[in-house]
Structure formats: C-alpha cells, structure tokens
Amino acid sequence: MKRWIFWLGIIISAVFLYVAIKGLDLNTLWISIKTIDLFWLLPGILLYFIGVLLRSLRWSVLLKGKLALKALQLFPSICIGYLGNNIFPARAGELIRAYHLREKFAIPFATSLASIIVERIFDGLVMIIFILLGLPGFQSQLHNQSLNGLIQWILIAGSILFLVAFLAVLISALFPKKAKQVFDFVFLKILPVKTHEKYHALLNRFFEGLEVLKSPLQLLSVFAISLAVWLLETGLYWSVLQAFHLSVPFNQLLLLNGALNILSTIPSAPGYIGVFDAPGIRLLNAMNVASESAAAYILILHAALWLPITVAGLFFFIREGLHWSQIKSQNTK
C-alpha cells in the first residue's frame, strides 16, 4: 500500500471520529450501552452470516463457466476478503480473496477481479434503491436542511456513479471487441512495449470475468441475490435496534444502511472507522433518536458488523495457510 494512502485514511477517520464524539455525554452513552439486551444480537448476526453465504452463491454465479464452484467452496474466500477489508487499508480484502481463489482453484486473478467489480456495482445499485425507499419518509420529518441536502447529494452522485459504472461494464460485456479497442487506445500509449503481451493476457482474462453479464437470466439472478444479501444485513440493523428498545421504521433502516455503505467508500482507516460512525449518529438524530442512544447503537452495530466476520475470516486465513507477507510478494498473473 502506498504510505500516503494509509495516512490519508487515518486523518479522515480521525476527523470523522472527532465529529462523532463531539458534544456527547460519555456518562449517558455508557448508561445507554448498559441497557442493551444481548439476546437480540444473536439473530441479527445469524442473518448477517446467511447474507455472507448468499454472497458466496452470487460469486459462484458470476464465476459460472470458469469453474463449477459451490457457495460453500467460496465461503472461506469471502470471509478472508472481509478480514482484509476490516484490518488492512484500501479494501485490500478484495485483492486477497482474488489471490486466494487463484491459489486454490487456479482461476486467473484478473477474472476474479472482474467478478468482484461486478459485485460492487450491483451492491451500489441496491444501496441507491434502499436510499430511494427510505428517503420520502425521512425527508418528511427532517428539519435540518443541510442534512437534507447532503442526502440528496449522496443519492444523485451515487446514482450517477453506479449507473455509469453498470452501463460501462454491461456494454463491455456485450461488445468486448469494441471495448478492448477502447482499452488498447488508452493503455497501449501509456504502457511500455515490453509489457504489452502481459497487458493483453490480463485484459482477456478480465473480459472472461464479464461474460456472465451476457445472460439476462444470470443478470437477474445476480441482482436478486444482491437484494437479498442487503436485506439480510439490514436485518442486523433491525436486530441491534431491538436490543436497545429503539424504534425506527424499517424503510428508514434501509436508508441508513444504504447511506452508510456508500459513505464507507470514503478513504479511511481499516474497518471504516469514523466514516461509518459520525454519519450514522447524525442520521439517527434526524430520525428522532437521542445523540447518546444513537452513538451507543452505532458503536454496537459497528462491532457486530466487524467482529464476528473478522474472526471468521481470521479462522479461514489460518486454516488455508495464508501469510500476508506471501500475498504482498506475489505478482498478479
């Protein structure tokens, strides 16, 4: 990782953390945390892991035609990817799970990476849908016009970003020859001549990973699974809400989930520290949840999203015999 990217993430997280804790009564926050009914965390975490298993199923659909892999075979790689995202900067987990898939099943790195990019685009589309579903009720009770404007900016910017990305990837999959010509026009002028052969090999493998998008049925399957994945994760949001005996309409939880996941793409320290917490507290405030209760909820929710899957990822990382130094030293093929 470039050192400056790491420190930029640390600085951004520090700023967001300051915003998150500014003005909070820490004594009242601790009292709120102590009121939690831990029983409610169990079904939420279970729903979350069912969602992770569905992510494995989605990945198997996206890799269909390269190797007939079942969801359970891909589950360890997904967990290892979460581990990487949660403890290393710059979402390194996406590269780690592509590396693991290459080492274990001999699927080219570029092919896996293409499928992961498609995953992220579908995730973004679902997040935009969630924001749209929750926005009308949220805006009707929102008196903070600056926050209202921020949500609208997120919706407009996010919609444009993910729709453009989706169309670009879909067009590339449907018209690979034309798309490759565009890539060649850009990269062959930049890359040294001696790397052109490797570039073409990587490009061909990347486009292999997009072939699944040529099938309308598989396209619909990927979208349906993506929707189910994020509904299950919102189930964890709801479960933690019950643990604190708080009341927020489910459609607004969808908005909270969508907005926080889009904001979590901002460069930050590993585990999305700060960029998840400060906006979450502010959004819950706008949903008529007191600041200390909102902070307690976000703190426990963040822990529930981070800790169990990180432990699972660490278990599979060790079981699979992976070493971070070895991953760093490997060149992608």
pLDDT, tens digit, for every residue of 133-173?
Answer: 988 877 777 666 666 666 677 767 777 887 888 888 889 88
Report how far residue 253's alpha carbon sits from residue 235's, in angstroms, rounded to the nearest whole number: 9
Q: Mean pLDDT, the chain, as a whole number? A: 88
Q: How confident is the model at residue 3 (pLDDT cuts 50, 70, 90)?
A: confident
Q: Per residue in 67-96, pLDDT tens?
A: 678 999 999 999 999 999 998 876 788 889
Identify the pLDDT of residue 332. Answer: 43
Q: What is the pTM of this model?
A: 0.88
Report how far residue 257's alpha carbon sits from residue 171's, in angstroms, rounded to the nearest whole number: 29
Identify the pLDDT of residue 146. Answer: 65
Show Cβ contacts of residue 309 under 8 Å, excluding neighbours closer than 6 positions: 48, 49, 52, 79, 82, 83, 86
Looking at the chain, the whole-number percentage of residues with pLDDT higher than 90 is 49
Looking up tokens 């969508």, which residue turns up? 258
